[in-house]
Amino acid sequence: MLDAVILWLHILAVLVWIGGMFYILFVLKPNLGQLGDKKLQFLKSVMDKFFPFVWASIIVLFITGGIKAKYFVNIPLFDLKLFIYFVMVVVFSYIYFGLYKKIPTAENKPPIFMKISNLITLNFILGLIVIFLISAVRYTNF
């Protein structure tokens, strides 16, 4: 039963992080033009709400992934998945500490939001690769 709860928490954290990026990229971003001058303020507000959930997801994924890792020791695809996860954490850390935290003082905010958007796109693609890899690990003998 404990394994089921750990897996459920792991999947929930993936849904929050990857699903949040999907929503931002494919639902929110295409409709931002309707906000006019309030767009940047709105984006900052969205990030203020979403980023704590990303940090929580990163922590949950680290803990539950660490517990589940015993089942995948010495599987190269799992090692690749783990490496990509850490790249995603580094990319998000850069978004958070290197870009997002500078928004209140940034004179030219649109380029910062464009960089954040591009990095979210990168992390979304990496996240999809991770999901594929973990699926492949379950169905291959690699």
Average pLDDT over residues 16-32: 96
Instruction: Report how many domains make up the chain.
Output: 1
Which residue range is the domain that position 117 belongs to? Answer: 2-139
Q: Is 12 left (phi over 0), alpha (psi -120 to 50) or beta?
A: alpha
Least confident span in 12-16, 26-30, 65-69: 65-69
The separation between CA 45 and the C-alpha centre of its own chain, rounded to angstroms, equals 18
pLDDT tens string 125-136: 999 999 998 888
